[in-house]
């Protein structure tokens, strides 16, 4: 049986075309922590979409209502004296 040579398509780092397109700056993927280019739209390792804007951190509604109730209660106690 003749031996067959299998060529590997292993990722040996960025190609010149990728460096020219993306500049070589990388960041970790938020899902799998693989290095991805800063301008990449998705992670090559896990497929996580990276181009969506990050959700802004906002306080939950219950926290705002609780804080407002506490402030109103303390104000009432101070004014009732």
SS3 at position 20: helix
**Is 72 within the bounds of a domain?**
no
Average per-residue pLDDT in the chain?
A: 79
pLDDT tens-digit readout, 42-51: 888 898 998 7
**Is 26 within the bounds of a domain?**
yes
The strand pair at 35-37 and 26-28 is best described as antiparallel
If one counts the domains in the chain, the total is 1
Which residues, other chains included, contact 38 with Cβ-Cβ below 8 Å and sequence gap of 6+? 22, 23, 25, 26, 27
Cα–Cα dist 79/81, whole Å: 6
pTM: 0.38
What is the gyration radius of the CA atoms in the chain, in angstroms?
26
**Is 42 within the bounds of a domain?**
yes
**Is 57 within the bounds of a domain?**
no
Containing domain of residue 35, as a range?
A: 15-52
18: how many CB neighbours lie within 10 A of its CB?
A: 13
């Amino acid at each position: 049986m003749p031996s067959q040579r299998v060529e590997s398509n292993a990722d040996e780092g960025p190609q010149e075309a990728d460096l020219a397109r993306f500049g070589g700056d990388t960041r970790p993927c938020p899902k799998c922590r693989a290095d991805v280019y800063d301008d990449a739209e998705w992670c090559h390792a896990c497929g996580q979409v990276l181009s969506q804007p990050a959700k802004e951190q906002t306080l939950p509604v219950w926290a705002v209502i609780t804080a407002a109730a506490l402030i109103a209660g303390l104000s009432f106690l101070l004014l009732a004296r």
